[in-house]
Amino acid sequence: MKSPILSKVNTFFIHVSDLERSVEWYCNLLGQVYDLSSVKRPVYNLQVNQQVGITLDAGPANRSKRLGGLDYPLFNFHTNDIDEAYDYIKQLNYDINSEIIRFDDLSFFTVRDPDGNVIMVCTG
């Protein structure tokens, strides 16, 4: 039977507790311009240049989410220069979760967002 579901990821939802704080954090991480006065709950779509979208989701205003943050990343942001990316994260004073780990064809490190979600920054 042919599946009507495509082998394609459309959007990653990052669940957050404070939408404005998360918009600021992720936009600074990605070097994106933002205007907090235009941020309206429940979601904010980050600007991406690929086919996969990223939506910060705080949920309805009258409902709080139980967020704990996983101890492992569910996705990564790509970089061509792992050392430059690491130094940039340090300059932002973000919570670096792991030092750079290097392999022959891949290097990565992880950082925690304001809700404790682990985000990987990765080459390869």
Fold type of domain 68-124: 2,3-Dihydroxybiphenyl 1,2-Dioxygenase; domain 1 (3.10.180)
pLDDT tens column, 74-116: 889 999 999 999 999 999 999 999 999 999 999 999 999 998 8
Nearest-5° Cα angle at 113, 107 to 84:
35
pLDDT tens column, 12-43: 899 998 999 999 999 999 999 999 999 998 99
Q: Of 89, 77, 73, 86, which Cα lies nearest the Cα of 121?
A: 77
- CATH no., domain 11-64: 3.30.720
Q: Domain residues of the chain, as ranges? A: 11-64, 68-124
Contacts of 59-66 with C-beta under 8 Å, sequence gap 24+, read 59/15, 64/17, 65/15, 65/16, 65/17
